[in-house]
């Protein structure tokens, strides 16, 4: 979807009116965010969303909408979310903590090396640390006890690299998404996004840990858009993460 279409869709959603699903009252919940070792995570951004029934004209749609203002965890890894007084049947919370935040990166740039090769290596390292993050997701239920803290255990993102070939030839400038089988929480939070292959058909990005056995390849050319959906793709584990080597044939791509 083009960026202008996304802006139009967001604007349209803001004009829609949610309809009732399950009666819900305003309440405050405490969220505790910990790392893989159970230690508190400071500086994680915590969001809550719900799947709203929205009506536009005679039609009704379902879209994720904010259930509370985003909050940041304190030194104890905690924050409190005040949930909106709206109706919902599906809701969830997300915690994200990048390895390096933008303000931290900007401070490091003040002391960045000037020599071209060293500068290039420095910038690659900074970009890599900005992409790496820890995440956690959990579904909320209308019957959840607000007096009990909700604990989110974060997992570090996984480095995913790979190469796409069509009839043994590299596939450049194609959008590739590697993702896990969809769950209810995916309807609220985007857990994967496409990455563009280079001239050698290679790609690299960080993904949320999971099964990561689904793939979508989108080729946009002047002749049209071709799409290929793959299931049960396998990866080779490496010290740096997961590596995919996907061979395809032109006849498998469907015109859209």
Residue-wise pLDDT for 142-171, tens only, equals: 777 777 889 999 999 999 999 999 999 999
> Which letter, b or e, does each residue of 195-230 get, where b requires 16 or more Cβ atoms within 10 Å of its Cβ?
bebeeebebbbbbbebebbbbebbbeeeeeebebee
Who contacts 123 (Cβ-Cβ below 8 Å, separation ≥6)? 112
d(CA 253, CA 175): 13
Q: How confident is the model at residue 87 (pLDDT cuts 50, 70, 90)?
A: confident
Lowest mean pLDDT across 41-45, 199-203, 222-226: 222-226
For a pLDDT cut of 90, what percent of the chain falls above it?
62
At 41 the pLDDT is: 96
The answer, yes or no, to whether residue 231 has pLDDT greater than 50, is yes
Instruction: Kindly state the DSSP code that residue 192 receives in the 8-state scheme.
Output: -
**Phi, psi for 66 (deg, rounded to 5):** -70, 130
d(CA 81, CA 206): 28
CATH class of 23-98+132-155: mainly beta
Question: Which residue's entry shows tokens 């007084």?
Answer: 85
Question: Which residue's entry shows tokens 């509370």?
Answer: 68
The CATH 2.60.40.10 domain(s) of the chain lie at 157-255
Residues 233-246 pLDDT 10s: 999 999 989 999 99
- What is the pTM for the complete model shown? 0.78
Q: Residue 89 has which token pair?
A: 């049947």
Pick the CATH number of 157-255 from 2.60.40.10, 3.10.20.600, 3.30.1330.100, 2.40.30.10: 2.60.40.10
């Amino acid at each position: 979807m083009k960026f202008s279409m996304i802006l139009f869709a967001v604007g349209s959603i803001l004009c829609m009116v949610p309809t009732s699903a399950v009666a819900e009252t305003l309440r405050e919940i405490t969220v505790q965010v910990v790392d893989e070792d159970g230690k508190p995570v400071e500086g994680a951004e915590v969001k809550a969303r719900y799947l709203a029934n929205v009506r536009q004209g005679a039609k009704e749609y379902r879209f994720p909408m904010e259930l509370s203002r985003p909050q940041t965890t304190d030194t104890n890894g905690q924050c409190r979310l005040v949930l909106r007084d709206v109706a919902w049947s599906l809701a969830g919370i997300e915690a994200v903590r990048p390895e390096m935040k933008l303000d931290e990166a900007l401070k490091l740039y003040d002391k960045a090396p000037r020599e071209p090769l060293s500068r290039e290596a420095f910038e690659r390292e900074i970009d890599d640390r900005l992409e790496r993050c820890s995440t956690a997701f959990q579904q909320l239920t209308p019957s959840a006890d607000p007096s009990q803290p909700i604990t989110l255990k974060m997992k570090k993102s996984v480095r995913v690299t790979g190469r796409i070939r069509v009839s043994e030839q590299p596939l450049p400038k194609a959008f590739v998404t590697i993702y896990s089988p969809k769950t209810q929480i995916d309807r609220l939070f985007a857990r994967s996004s496409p990455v563009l292959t280079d001239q050698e058909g290679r790609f690299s990005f960080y993904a949320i840990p999971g099964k990561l056995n689904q793939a979508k390849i989108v080729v946009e050319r002047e002749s049209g858009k071709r799409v290929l959906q793959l299931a049960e793709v396998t990866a080779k584990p490496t010290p740096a993460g997961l590596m995919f080597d996907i061979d395809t044939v032109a006849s498998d791509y469907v015109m859209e």
